[in-house]
Amino acid sequence: MPPSPIRKLVPYAEAAKKKGTKVYHLNIGQPDIETPAPILDAVRHFDFKVLEYSHSAGNESYRRKLVEYYGKVGVDIQYNQIIVTTGGSEAILFAMMACLDAGDEVIIPEPFYANYNGFAVEAGVKVVPITSDIRSGFALPPLDSFEAAITPRTKAILLCNPNNPTGYLYSREEMETLKSIALRHNLYLFSDEAYREFCYTGTHTSALHLQGADDRIILMDTISKRYSACGGRIGALLTRNQQVLDSVMKFAQARLSPPSFAQIAGEAAVDLPDNYFDTTRAEYQSRRDLIVSRLNHMPGVYCPNPGGAFYAMAELPVDDTDTFCQWLLESFTHQGQTVMLAPASGFYGTPGLGRKEVRLAYVLNKADLSKAMDCLEKALEAYPGKI
């Protein structure tokens, strides 16, 4: 089991804080946006006397409510095609365990969300990375790369759209390409759509918008980022494939039920006003604009403009971002402050890639983001390993 690459610098950050340094955390995707009050109020006003197990697939009332939510984003689904999970994490694990046998392979464009590795280890599945390029903004790798990677053990392609860590928003055409590969080679298409609402350039294409591949498509979802409700641990797995639903239900039954309190939160969230995401989206977009502009004005830094999510990847003029990010915490301060970034090496499956890249999560307000960018700018001037 690999350790979390995002968390391996945590001891250095703790040491920096103990020395009195202010650390701007751009390393993790914990949004600072407040959880909408109606969601928290719904939890405060629960009215049961016994905190019972819910249905293993989640409360029926919540699943029926989710049908409404998905209808609003153009996804036609029935309540019994939804299995509520303990976070998006469990949806990913269930998809791998239900659809792949030990030793089977899943193709994932890299860089990718590092915890996919962990779930793959748990499911006994081999991750086969195919590389996307910062110079193309991390667009979908060409069809050839997929065809070259497919073996008799390949059972699925996993995509995160919009992407963590790259922020890339896949186009309708790219999604259709993936569908055609899935159909041609009889693969599952696992679609992680945690950041669906956060699209700034273009519109979101859900895998469940695609026609004619119902038995191939598994959607993995979560309320964590959508409503700043990460601690609830509520996600969902959706598919129109009955056989997969039946198999996932066995895993769901083994762990009895998803958490009850946060299902109340999720159910209330669907009733938020339709303009709720406008404010959040505008806030994230202005943050994105700020950091992308600042980054591209720093000498030697390259940062493609991400179309969605709340992450940006940047190439830095340094020898190695693992060393650089540790140095930022151990040996650098600017006016008593420093910045914590996620070195990109942990997001690549191919050894040696991403050594000059970092991921930045723009989950702080703009004043703090500005100060964090000041730190980074000064650090790049001072770093002994700059190139």
Q: Give the interface with a second copy as residue ranges (CB under 8 A).
A: 1-4, 7, 30-35, 39-40, 43-46, 49-54, 56, 86-87, 89-90, 93, 97-98, 102, 115, 118-119, 122-124, 228-233, 247, 250-251, 253-262, 265
Smallest gap from Cβ 211 to a second copy, in A, equals 30
Smallest gap from Cβ 11 to a second copy, in A, equals 13
Q: State which residue, 32 or 271, has the beta carbon closest to a second copy.
A: 32
**Residue 187 bridge partners (DSSP):** none
The closest of 112, 141, 139, 194 to 306, measured between CA atoms, is 139
What is the number of residues in the chain? Answer: 387
Smallest gap from Cβ 51 to a second copy, in A, equals 4
Q: State which residue, 87 or 111, has the beta carbon closest to a second copy.
A: 87
> Nearest 5°: phi and psi at 224?
-55, -55
Q: State which residue, 43 or 290, has the beta carbon closest to a second copy.
A: 43
What SS3 class is residue 232? helix
Q: State which residue, 90 or 192, has the beta carbon closest to a second copy.
A: 90
Smallest gap from Cβ 317 to a second copy, in A, equals 31
Q: At what angle do helices 37-44 and 260-269 cross, to 10 degrees?
A: 140
Smallest gap from Cβ 164 to a second copy, in A, equals 13
Q: State which residue, 206 or 224, has the beta carbon closest to a second copy.
A: 224
What dihedral do alpha carbons 69, 71, 94, 176 form, nearest 10°?
-130
Q: State which residue, 141 or 258, has the beta carbon closest to a second copy.
A: 258
23, 16 contact by CB (below 8 A): yes
- Longest C-alpha distance within the chain, in Å? 63
Quickly tell me which residue has 């650089």 as its tokens: 324
Whole-angstrom Cα distance, residue 64 to residue 80? 8
Whole-angstrom Cα distance, residue 255 to residue 249? 10
Smallest gap from Cβ 223 to a second copy, in A, equals 9
Long-range CB contact pairs, 121-129, < 8 A, 24+: 121/1, 121/2, 122/1, 122/93, 122/96, 122/97, 123/93, 123/96, 123/97, 125/96, 125/100, 126/153, 127/349, 128/154, 128/349, 129/348, 129/349, 129/350
Q: State which residue, 102 or 367, has the beta carbon closest to a second copy.
A: 102
Q: State which residue, 194 or 380, has the beta carbon closest to a second copy.
A: 194
Q: State which residue, 361 or 373, has the beta carbon closest to a second copy.
A: 361
Q: State which residue, 38 or 317, has the beta carbon closest to a second copy.
A: 38
73, 198 contact by CB (below 8 A): no
In this structure, the number of other CB atoms found within 10 A of the CB of residue 277 comes to 17
Smallest gap from Cβ 233 to a second copy, in A, equals 4
Smallest gap from Cβ 89 to a second copy, in A, equals 4
Smallest gap from Cβ 173 to a second copy, in A, equals 33
57, 252 contact by CB (below 8 A): yes
Q: Count of alpha carbons within 13 Å of 276, Cβ hemisphere only?
A: 18
Smallest gap from Cβ 28 to a second copy, in A, equals 8
CA angle 158, 159, 164 (to 5 degrees): 125
CB proximity list for 343: less than 8 A, separation 6 or greater: 5, 9, 321, 322, 324, 325, 354, 357, 358
CA torsion through residues 55, 59, 61, 62, sign: negative
